[in-house]
Structure 1
Amino acid sequence: MDKKSLSERDICSKFISPAIGNAGWDLHKQVREEVSFTKGRIIVRGKMHSRGESRRADYILYHQQNLPIAVIEAKDNKHSLGSGMQQALGYAEALDVPFVFSSNGDGFLFHDRSGTGAQVETELSLEQFPGPDELWQRYCQWKSLDGAARQKIEAPYYDDGSGRMPRYYQMNAINRTVEAVARGQDRVLLVMATGTGKTYTAFQIIWRLWKSKQKKRILFLADRNILVDQTKNNDFKPFGQAMTKIAKRQIEKSYEIYLSLYQAVTGSEEEKNVYKQFSPDFFDLVVIDECHRGSAAEDSAWREILEYFSSATHVGLTATPKETKDVSSITYFGEPVYSYTLKQGIEDGFLAPYKVVRIDFDKDLQGWRPPKGMLDKNGELIEDRIYDLKDMDRHLVIEARTQMVAQKVTEFLKATDPFQKTIIFCDDINHAERMRQALVNLNPERIAENRKYVMRITGDDQEGKAELDNFINPEARYPVIATTSKLMTTGVDAQTCKLIVLDQHIKSMTEFKQIIGRGTRINEDYGKFWFTIMDFKKATELFADPAFDGEPVVIYSPEGDDSPVPPDSPLADEEGIVDGGDWLPEGDETDGGEEGKKRIKYVIDNVPIHVIAERVQYYGPDGKLITESLRDYTRSCVKKQFASLDDFLRRWTDAEQKKAIIDELAAQGVMWEALDEEVQAKRGQPLDPFDLICHIAFDQPPLTRKERAEQVKKRNYFAKYSGAARQVLEALLDKYADTGIEHIEDIKILQLDPFSQIGAPIELVRAFGGKPGYQQAIQELESELYAS
């Protein structure tokens, strides 16, 4: 057998799999092949999106089905033994795996990330592949797990029989937490971006700790009733009869899993007695959802519960660990055992990317000063000073500004999809109500169809709050637009929200992350792959701050150090004071001012507003926002692949199938249809990807597909063929002019009209002397099409 002629899959089945099996691994239970562990980043340009390639490991080896401990990257035998190593190390890092192998079928290159071996990289023969016990021993050594701890971490995940496995980062989070608890760590913090399945992750952690009998009685705390109910009815359902929800009454102590609202067990003395009905050592595990809120503050009522049950292990989950001068998640819980950020989620294709539409108004940026003695709409004398962006909707309401924001939102919805779920974040309840009125008046035909097209959903409005479930429900069409201030910043799982409008002053990074998190969920069934942020108050400048997606830094000082946050911090306002931006309980949204005084808000109805700048920015490959057109993006993509026009022409000519190059660029985000549409708008006829590249990346004058086909006909290229072969080639040329190069490269085209009228596919291929002759004729046809 000539090994060099074997494909990569043949190398796997004939050499690598047998070597793994011979070493004692159970190929059905402990080994998974061709595991796609990410989905492929969603790339957005204009109104189009595409997905990049997912990351796929050739083999992942598990200890007892739920602990990945080794990755193997396979290559065909034309490659060297270690040529897959760098790729495999990238996978191992993501999968939190210590043992990494690369193979070409001759043996293995073994890389030990754990530091438990004599050297980092070793060459092994096929017979020397290590067995499961050896790697498990070394894994435990790497993780500092003694005999007792090893048994504790072996409890399996919950399996509902559907084959659903936690995603790779959820598995990392679950395993890291279970291992930390097994080693005796009693405060554990997990940081996972909004939309990445924190509750499901929490469920699997609790399930494994409960099943292994390490933790017998467990309290899960959330801060919204809707979240507790969603958790009980969805992710936590498998706990069944062992689970109960704590209410404000006598407690039944025969359950094992308790779900509670923070507010249900704090507040008045009577309410505090609810948790005091339990002895302080009743729970041995407390899981705190959204622990960046009150539980992170030293003096909060919520922290009181944690202090009361201080002998239990506390696991905190948050998308945004809160780190301010007064509040710290990390000081309480310690450094996160695992973090999975928004940037990683978007890169992996599990979270939706965003584009930003930034709109600036003249009075916001240039400022406005009232004429001397000017009275506002309510007869108040307007204080004589310059008002700018920081005053808008706080100290000064310009009615034309509210109208202009509503108009811009309406224009956007009409141009894209008038029924895409939209949240507009306003500065306070009054602002949210004004915005609702403006939108109602701008959309009379939609309101006539259903008065709930626009709803104000704020803490003080019972009817609005009652519509929150309908807004979240993908199947409920109304309400479409929700105007809000604080109520919808967190805990609102709006999977189909495609537009987030920021007309709110946001200085708290925690609050900004939470608001952005309202749009990051993907729902493929409803066509939600990405979302748009319309920003009227420069809030998206926070994206540029390293803290937006970086590691949280502790700036809380328990010793009472009063040093203020530096004035240039994005969390500080103009006086250098931190705006905590923390969650307000439902119904507690105020206009409050300094020391409880009602601040004066001037209302002006006779000052015009003009847009002075409007730009669109996209989420770039490095996680930064880029202002870039479809053409610019395509040009930079192509030039990364091909250094020059000659380089491109050489690759194109040499490619057996042009489709391979077209697909390769599509995977990097070149959107052929959108690009063709844009260029066609000027030229009127479809272009081939070849011409799109030459024209956009290398400034060559393009030919349409029709023009290319005509040139081939003029050169009388078909003269050397006759009969059915000639008819086939002429029909292929017409097909190319209609549908493009990819279709004529696919032999299945011979099953379609007009080819099926000429003869059966097998006869048509025979007219060229067999398949090799047919394929050669196609390549010659392509050479003629692209002859310079």
Structure 2
Amino acid sequence: MTDTRNQNPEQIARDKIDQMLRQAGWIVQSKEKVNLSAGIGIALRETNTESGSADYILFINSKAVGVIEAKAEDLGYKLLQVEEQSSRYSTDAIKIGKYTLDNVKPFVYESTGTLTRFTDYRDPKPRGRNVFWFHKPETLAEWIKKDKSLRENLLSMPDLDPTGLRPAQIKAVENLEHSFKKNRPKALIQMATGAGKTFTAATFVYRLLKHVDAKRILFVVDTKNLGEQAEQEFMTFQPNDDNRKFTELYNVQRLNSSYIASDSQVCISTIQRLYSILKGEELDESAEMENPEENSWMQQQINKKAALPVDYTPKVPIEQFDFIVIDECHRSIYNLWKQVLDYFDAFLIGLTATPDKRTFGFFNENVVSQYTYEESVTDGVNVPYEVYTIETEISQNGETIKAGWFIDRRDKLTRAKRWQQEDEDTEYKRNDLDKKVVNPSQIRNIIREYKKALKTEIFPNRVDKDGDYEVPKTLVFAKTDSHADDIIKIIREEFDEGNDFCKKVTYKAEEDSKSVLNRFRNSYYPRIAVTVDMIATGTDVKPLEVLLFMRDVKSVNYFEQMKGRGTRTITNDSLQMVSRTAKSKTHFVIVDAVGATKSKKTDSRPLERQPTVPMKDLLGAVTMGVADEDLFLSLANRLIRLEKQITEKEKEKLLEYSGGKNLKQITKELIMAYDQDEIDILAKIEIDKIPRQDLTPALVEEAKKVAHEQLIAAATKTFNGELNNYLDNVRREHEQIIDSVNIDKVIKSEWDTTSVDKATAIVKDFSEYLEQHKDEIKALSIFYNQPYNRREITFKMIKDVFDKLALEKPVLAPDYVWSAYAVLENVKSDQPKDELTALVSLIRRACGIDKELKGFDKTIDENFKNWIFKQNAGKHNRFTNEQMEWLRMIKDHVVSSYHIELDDLDYTPFDSQGGRGKMHQLFGDQMKDIINELNEVLAA
């Protein structure tokens, strides 16, 4: 290691730069020992130019191509001011005695050895940017051979062919490419879940490879599952201008090791794997599991003495990728490994449905496209939702376990029970449920009411041919793995079903979670799945029609992601493969049993960063000197919860081991240790002691560093072996109480008022749409203005209305409008199975022909019965049995086709019974009159 004690700051910086250059593959030489043929890339120190001595001139194959201007580390804040000097050197001729070497050197760096900036003066509007390291000489050699730089190529991208793309996808791609052309380094695409983010990404990735000559593009995810989904999307993607698949045109590599193939043009990787590659470490398999923030590999990162920064890796240079697409970029995991993204000299493109403040900040507030859930519903890309509320007394108010009662106590981890008599009253609130206290009656009453509401209110028409009710695919959100077990047991009992009917899909499930999830998605069973976090985000289950919330959610983003599980559209055929009685997915229902839709939401960061790490390990890590923000916040969160549980006697005992500090004080110190405001306040005390003329940015940073270390020391010195054991033992004492005595009851089971508002708005939109188009659409004109001509309405006319609605107002699909009326009115009639018949029923209700909503098929049946009754009035059976059979056939034809003409008698089912000749034989000259009369009467 170089002794820097007697060196000046600029020399120290140059030594660092020398080391960086050598690691990047450059040969560093002085003028006295110059040998430009020694290798492909030579960095020549102290080279004279016409206007001064350049710190380094970069040579590729003996030709000068670049400049490095070095500055002392404490002058890093002045690098922007050096750009003029380094730019001048880039065009200056090199002086060699009385001779000059005159050529432009477009690749220009300014560096302190810690901070480095780079400008490519071949760009249309050259703009400097921070880079983690120097580029390899082979890269500059490749760039110098090309006529244009990457950023210049971006300016000549051809217009997008919009064929096969939705409007939101077109907007996203076009605006992103416009951002590229303006040389914006970061861009964010906000697109609703289910709106085709990955397809959009495949579209612009293809265009970048084909039209911009991008060398390699990275698609980064945070779970193995998302990586596999992305790989499938690229495999099936076929561009508009080529009949080959993407993977037939370009090599796509999903990274399963540290090896990155030289011929891969698209790499798919988790950010965890990239981190391990840059660290030169083997990646634990658990690191890429479905929830990256809850695994043993994360625990190992915390247990290190200090967070090791990313180092330069020659095998993976900073220019490895030209563009990086970051999927689900709202996730907090990207805050943990932000340094991985900062390592590469690449454009960054974020994809998310639910950005928060941190996401906007990271992407420089450059939101190139926003496509909200509401917009996606309006466009028919996603389905809307309704909220059904279930409330029980105990869910709302809690209860009291009385002294003297014999109850079970259950260990939270092992679930082992012990029977004991209570020696004092225990009052529990709604927030204690399924944590401190489990009340089986509370869970049972919610499930029982859900089962009842399904059949009567939520999806009442799901009865199969045997008369059995088919439960729609339902996802239940539980609070904990233990809570999920309790729910599953009760669901199976209340629905009178076996194990296959309801399954757990969580990280701790003994059965293979992926296998269960696949069956839930593609098979008839399970009908209900219970999860905690595993399929709350990023997992596609299109047949889902109900989300049952049995846990509250405080995060806005997380709640939106959870809701997103139900928004996906699905074809009727695909839905009926797993839900045979469903006709189509027009909406999904949130059943809110805990007030999740009404509780206050926040986008603030959660304190808990390591939810599966035992508290004993957190305490031990802090005691042994591990200083890590995630560790401190996780421990603080555990102690906050414990402080609310422990008794006054336990609090007094704790003071003996903590040096007189209570849990609130200890917790505050842990949080303050990484609170930037607290660090600044403490640092300011020392900064104020320094004379203003002596104050430098380096001294300010040093003061902040010292302040940070002082706060960490203050927080950690409290912990010791005795305190740790006491805290862990106290925590263990707090078991779950099983309240099997207090019986719960349902106090509310109804559509949420917001659902009523939504339903009112839908009915209003439907009525207004019909009113606006009544003069241009023939069928509507007849319904509104020509009641006598209703007999003339044909199947084609109704189909025209249906098609126009589907194109212009997909959210007003008959199924969905019918459901809205059902929320607002006491609809006694079942919805017709045929969508066009349902549409006629709705039109008749909207324009006032019918005073209540009822199926038009039922109206035709009633009108037919009344007509027959009148025909037979005063006469004894005017029609023979054979004539009645023909009349019923005519009635059935009108039910499906809304109108009958003489020509229809030549086709099925009439032709097989003798056609128009047979009818004339039966009815004689009355045949035409009867057809006209039935057309009029049945449509009345």
| TM-score for both structures, normalised by structure 1 | 0.60
Query: Aligned letter for 1:454?
Result: C
User: How much has 1:425 moved relative to structure 2?
Assistant: 0.7
Q: Secondary structure in 2 aligned to 1:541?
A: coil
Could you tell me which of 772, 788, 813 is aligned with 1:653? 788
Counterparts of 2:498 and 2:197 in 1: how far apart (Å)?
A: 37
Deviations 1:171-215 (A, max 9, x none): 222222223213322211111111122111111111111111352
Query: Aligned letter for 1:611?
Result: V
1:744 and 2:899 are equivalent in the alignment = yes
Whether the aligned pair in 1 keeps the contact of 2:553 and 2:601 (CA below 8 Å) is no
Q: Secondary structure in 2 aligned to 1:523?
A: coil
Give the match for residue 601 of structure 2: 570
Unaligned residue ranges in structure 1 (runs of 5+): 1-145, 158-163, 543-568, 573-577, 619-623, 717-726
Counterparts of 2:225 and 2:853 in 1: how far apart (Å)?
A: 55
How many residues are aligned here?
569
1:711-750 to 2 correspondences below 5 Å: 713=871, 735-736=890-891, 739-740=894-895, 742-745=897-900, 749-750=904-905
Give the match for residue 167 of structure 1: 166
Give the match for residue 349 of structure 1: 380
Whether the aligned pair in 2 keeps the contact of 1:156 and 1:208 (CA below 8 Å) is no
Whether the aligned pair in 1 keeps the contact of 2:399 and 2:429 (CA below 8 Å) is yes
Deviations 1:286-335 (A, max 9, x none): 10000000266xxx3321111112x3100000011123xxx333453424
Give the match for residue 323 of structure 2: 285
1:438-517 to 2 correspondences below 5 Å: 438-442=490-494, 445-447=497-499, 452-471=500-519, 473-474=521-522, 476-517=523-564
Whether the aligned pair in 1 keeps the contact of 2:215 and 2:265 (CA below 8 Å) is yes
User: How much has 1:270 moved relative to structure 2?
Assistant: 4.2
Q: Secondary structure in 2 aligned to 1:259?
A: strand
Task: Flag the structure with higher helix content.
Answer: 2
1:618-633 to 2 correspondences below 5 Å: 625-626=755-756
User: How much has 1:283 moved relative to structure 2?
Assistant: 1.4
1:486-565 to 2 correspondences below 5 Å: 486-524=533-571, 525-527=574-576, 529=585, 530-541=587-598
C-alpha change, 1:444 and 1:382, in structure 2 (3 Å) is farther
Whether the aligned pair in 2 keeps the contact of 1:511 and 1:582 (CA below 8 Å) is no
Deviations 1:561-586 (A, max 9, x none): xxxxxxxx5328xxxxx464999899
Counterparts of 2:788 and 2:438 in 1: how far apart (Å)?
A: 64
1:705 and 2:863 are equivalent in the alignment = yes
Counterparts of 1:445 and 1:346 in 2: how far apart (Å)?
A: 35
Whether the aligned pair in 2 keeps the contact of 1:404 and 1:609 (CA below 8 Å) is yes
Give the match for residue 336 of structure 1: 367
Deviations 1:379-409 (A, max 9, x none): 5969968644333223332121123334345
User: How much has 1:419 moved relative to structure 2?
Assistant: 6.2
Counterparts of 1:712 and 1:273 in 2: how far apart (Å)?
A: 90
Q: Secondary structure in 2 aligned to 1:744?
A: coil
User: How much has 1:509 moved relative to structure 2?
Assistant: 1.2
Give the match for residue 336 of structure 2: 301
Could you tell me which of 314, 326, 351 is aligned with 1:317? 351
Whether the aligned pair in 2 keeps the contact of 1:246 and 1:259 (CA below 8 Å) is yes
C-alpha change, 1:223 and 1:746, in structure 2 (3 Å) is farther
C-alpha change, 1:465 and 1:730, in structure 2 (3 Å) is closer
1:133-212 to 2 correspondences below 5 Å: 149-154=154-159, 165-212=164-211
Could you tell me which of 236, 258, 276 is aligned with 2:267? 258
C-alpha change, 1:294 and 1:184, in structure 2 (3 Å) is same
1:603 and 2:738 are equivalent in the alignment = yes
Could you tell me which of 638, 644, 649 is aligned with 1:593? 638
**478-487 vs 270-279, which deviates more?**
270-279
Counterparts of 2:765 and 2:270 in 1: how far apart (Å)?
A: 51
Deviations 1:85-133 (A, max 9, x none): xxxxxxxxxxxxxxxxxxxxxxxxxxxxxxxxxxxxxxxxxxxxxxxxx
Query: Aligned letter for 2:270?
Result: L
Query: Aligned letter for 2:439?
Result: I
1:14-93 to 2 correspondences below 5 Å: none
Counterparts of 1:334 and 1:490 in 2: how far apart (Å)?
A: 24
Whether the aligned pair in 2 keeps the contact of 1:149 and 1:183 (CA below 8 Å) is no
Query: Aligned letter for 1:246?
Result: L
Deviations 1:623-659 (A, max 9, x none): x6326889x9779955875699x99664323567335
Q: Secondary structure in 1 aligned to 2:598?
A: helix
Counterparts of 1:479 and 1:494 in 2: how far apart (Å)?
A: 13
User: How much has 1:775 moved relative to structure 2?
Assistant: 10
C-alpha change, 1:341 and 1:638, in structure 2 (3 Å) is closer
Q: Secondary structure in 1 aligned to 2:156?
A: helix
C-alpha change, 1:419 and 1:371, in structure 2 (3 Å) is closer
Counterparts of 1:170 and 1:585 in 2: how far apart (Å)?
A: 37
C-alpha change, 1:594 and 1:642, in structure 2 (3 Å) is same
Counterparts of 2:596 and 2:535 in 1: how far apart (Å)?
A: 17
Counterparts of 1:221 and 1:380 in 2: how far apart (Å)?
A: 56
Whether the aligned pair in 1 keeps the contact of 2:198 and 2:233 (CA below 8 Å) is no
**409-418 vs 172-181, which deviates more?**
409-418
Query: Aligned letter for 1:487?
Result: M
Q: Secondary structure in 2 aligned to 1:615?
A: strand
Give the match for residue 45 of structure 1: none
Q: Secondary structure in 2 aligned to 1:280?
A: coil
C-alpha change, 1:579 and 1:377, in structure 2 (3 Å) is farther
Query: Aligned letter for 1:291?
Result: C
Counterparts of 2:892 and 2:737 in 1: how far apart (Å)?
A: 65
Whether the aligned pair in 2 keeps the contact of 1:456 and 1:484 (CA below 8 Å) is yes
Whether the aligned pair in 2 keeps the contact of 1:421 and 1:471 (CA below 8 Å) is no
| TM-score for both structures, normalised by structure 2 | 0.51
Query: Aligned letter for 1:750?
Result: L
User: How much has 1:249 moved relative to structure 2?
Assistant: 3.1
Deviations 1:575-611 (A, max 9, x none): xxx4649998999999973357447644322111101
C-alpha change, 1:150 and 1:778, in structure 2 (3 Å) is farther
Counterparts of 1:155 and 1:738 in 2: how far apart (Å)?
A: 49
Query: Aligned letter for 2:863?
Result: R
Query: Aligned letter for 2:194?
Result: G
Deviations 1:209-236 (A, max 9, x none): 1111352221110111011122223424
Q: Secondary structure in 2 aligned to 1:494?
A: coil
Deviations 1:716-769 (A, max 9, x none): 9xxxxxxxxxx99996797238744944346652224547756569998xx999
Give the match for residue 69 of structure 1: none
Task: Work out which structure has the larger RCO, using CA pairs closer than 8 Å and 6 or more positions apart in sequence.
Answer: 1
1:422 and 2:422 are equivalent in the alignment = no
Counterparts of 1:647 and 1:744 in 2: how far apart (Å)?
A: 14
Counterparts of 2:374 and 2:443 in 1: how far apart (Å)?
A: 33
Query: Aligned letter for 1:606?
Result: V
Give the match for residue 377 of structure 1: 408
Unaligned residue ranges in structure 2 (runs of 5+): 1-150, 237-245, 282-308, 410-419, 463-468, 577-583, 616-633, 643-730, 775-780, 806-811, 832-836, 875-881
Counterparts of 1:382 and 1:176 in 2: how far apart (Å)?
A: 68
Deviations 1:532-567 (A, max 9, x none): 32221111236xxxxxxxxxxxxxxxxxxxxxxxxx
**434-443 vs 587-596, which deviates more?**
587-596
Counterparts of 1:681 and 1:306 in 2: how far apart (Å)?
A: 56
Q: Secondary structure in 1 aligned to 2:561?
A: helix
Q: Secondary structure in 2 aligned to 1:356?
A: strand
C-alpha change, 1:515 and 1:785, in structure 2 (3 Å) is closer
Give the match for residue 434 of structure 2: 393
Counterparts of 1:211 and 1:738 in 2: how far apart (Å)?
A: 56
Deviations 1:753-788 (A, max 9, x none): 547756569998xx999xxxx99997776556678x
Whether the aligned pair in 1 keeps the contact of 2:905 and 2:911 (CA below 8 Å) is yes
